[in-house]
Every structure is written in structure tokens, then in C-alpha cells.
């Protein structure tokens, strides 16, 4: 099913993936939940999308999505000196937000509080 034709309720039936290592994808759809993190911020779930097709949902106790790693320092912990990599957020017709880049993406982290998203 194409994410541009999906309703918000369609995203709830996407299978949950527990191991996100080595998953390369094109975009993430952000799913707000009704749960509140210990920090007071709302918990999010994410749908991994490749070529506009939803693959899996990733979930946990995540209230923060770190773009290009925590602090924006990339996967090596070293500040990047290259130009911005073209991160974009748009809003799907169903009202959910989609995060994408000019390149393929990958997610790292244990879903306790933070996920880190990088370009692959």
C-alpha cells in the first residue's frame, strides 16, 4: 500500500520490527502515540518506508528522534564539515509527518528514549 493513499488508521496494522540494525530505507513516517514518556514528552512510533511502501513499524519508549545522530555529530561522533544533507519533513494527505533525505536512511539506537537517524 502506498503511504500517500493510506489513512492514519492503516498505519496501526503495520507489523512491528524489533531489530532495526542494517535496515536501509527512504523515509520515516512519524506516528504520535497517546503514551507519555517519563520526561513528559509524548512517545512516538515510526514507520520505515521504502519506495513509498511501508515496511515495518518501529516502536518503544522513544520521545526523541536525533537527526544525523545525537547533537548532529554523525555516526562517528565527529562534527560534520560537509553541507547539510537535505533533510526534509512533509505532511502526508492523512496528516502524518514524513521525514526523508536526498539519500537512503538508517536508524540506530535502542528504543528506550532516543532513536538516531542517519543517511546511509
Count CB-CB contacts under 10 A for residue 44.
Answer: 23
- Per-residue model confidence as pLDDT tens for the chain (120 residues): 899 999 999 998 999 887 766 788 999 999 998 999 888 999 999 999 999 999 999 887 888 888 876 666 655 555 454 555 678 899 999 999 999 988 888 887 666 677 778 777
**The model's pTM:** 0.82
Q: What kind and span of H or E run contains 118? A: strand 114-119
CA–CA gap between residue 99 and residue 21 (Å, rounded): 19
Report DSSP letters for 59-99, one per residue.
EEEE-EEEETSGGG-TTTTS---SPP---EEEE-TTS-EEE
Half-sphere exposure of 30 (CA within 13 A, CB side): 20
Amino acid at each position: 500500500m502506498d503511504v500517500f493513499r493510506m489513512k492514519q488508521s492503516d498505519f496501526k496494522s503495520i507489523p512491528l520490527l524489533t531489530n532495526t540494525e542494517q535496515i536501509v530505507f527512504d523515509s520515516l513516517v512519524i506516528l504520535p502515540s497517546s503514551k507519555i514518556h517519563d520526561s513528559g514528552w509524548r512517545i512516538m512510533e515510526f514507520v520505515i518506508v521504502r519506495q513509498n511502501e511501508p515496511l515495518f513499524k518501529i516502536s518503544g519508549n522513544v520521545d526523541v528522534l536525533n537527526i544525523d545522530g545525537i547533537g548532529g555529530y554523525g555516526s562517528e561522533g565527529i562534527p560534520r564539515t560537509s553541507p547539510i544533507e537535505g533533510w526534509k519533513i512533509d505532511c502526508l494527505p492523512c496528516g502524518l509527518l514524513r521525514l526523508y533525505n536526498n539519500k537512503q536512511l538508517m536508524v540506530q539506537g535502542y528504543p528506550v528514549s532516543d532513536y538516531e537517524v542517519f543517511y546511509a
